[in-house]
Chain A
Amino acid sequence: MNTEWFIVLSALLFATGAIGILLRRSPMVILLCLELMLNAGNLALVAFSRMVGNGQGQVFAVIVMVIAACEVVVGLGLIVAIFRRRLPLNVDDLRELRG
């Protein structure tokens, strides 16, 4: 398969994740859409790694996975904390920190 196909698919997945972040209100679904965008980036990294014939892009993808796991852990911790305080789980209601 040409590398082009993988890159176009990666761009499509990235755009899908961006649409989800703009559309959805629940912080949990927004975290899931962030995962979609990170995974699209991972796909592009691995595709370019194959295109160049060098394994370094795959190491980068593994590090991105670690970052994604950290983001999930902190994000879900925040969601649990918000839920415990009985605040609404809706990003439009939680707007006190907006500038």
Chain B
Amino acid sequence: MEEVLFFLSAIGALGGAIGVIAMRNPFYSVLALIVHLFSLAALFLLLTSAFVAAAQVVVYAGAVMVLYVFVVAYVGGGGESAWEPIPGQRFLAPLLGIALFIELAVAVLSSSLLALGTDGPDVEAGFGDPAAIGRLLLEKFLLPFEASSILLLLAAIGAIVLASNRRPGAGDTPDEPSPNREEGVSPAPGVHA
């Protein structure tokens, strides 16, 4: 039963990942990533980590993907040009990826981790549930927890600054003197709005 679930989720995760890189339209790539994230949440549940699985579905497949869908709808799809700055990039990239996979697999599987071939120890019923993770976050990892919350705040402020509605062109950055200001001409109304 566990094997069946693992292979089903693994096929879903891998198919979603290949869908992300193979789809021409970015909107379909986002949908493939949602399939990938749900399969990954099932894999997390197989690894008895309920909280990470729930966070994956709620935060990633819920919130972050909605943000992606909004931006794709705003910016629009648009085809990619066939021009390649590096000749043969289309064939070299998969080769490099396969080499990376082989290297990673060899590095991990030939390591001297004795428990790698086992299912892991039997864990008690509360392993990986929200209570255990919350206790770890607030007792042992309080500093990383607070640091990540500050990082989230900074990212939100950064996104507002980056995507704020300023006119492209003259006078959009305060540090850079605009041609209007140098000539002593007052900027057009609405520039600093």
Contacts and interface: CB of A to CB of B under 8 A. Distances in A.
Interface residues of A, number: 71
Given A19-B94, A55-B128, A59-B137, A2 B36 contact: no
B58 to A, nearest CB: 10
B83 A32 contact: no
A77 B109 CA distance: 40
Given A3-B119, A80-B163, A58 B52 contact: yes
Given A9-B13, A18-B100, A74-B162, A26 B78 contact: yes
B190 interface: no
A39 B118 contact: no
Given A9-B14, A18-B100, A4 B117 contact: yes
Query: For the side of the interface on B, what is the size category?
Result: 35 or more
Interface string B25-52: 0100110010011001001101111011
B29 to A, nearest CB: 5
B68 A67 contact: no
B49 A83 contact: no
21 contacts: A7-B105, A11-B104, A16-B97, A19-B96, A23-B21, A23-B93, A25-B80, A28-B26, A32-B33, A43-B44, A53-B127, A55-B128, A58-B51, A59-B136, A59-B141, A62-B133, A66-B152, A69-B64, A71-B155, A76-B67, A83-B74
Interface of B: 2-3, 6, 10, 13-14, 17-18, 20-21, 26, 29-30, 33, 36-37, 40, 43-44, 46-49, 51-52, 55-56, 59-60, 63-64, 67-68, 71-72, 74-75, 78, 80-81, 83, 85, 89-90, 92-94, 96-98, 100-101, 104-105, 108-109, 113, 115-121, 123, 127-128, 132-133, 136-137, 140-141, 144-145, 148, 151-152, 154-156, 158-163, 168
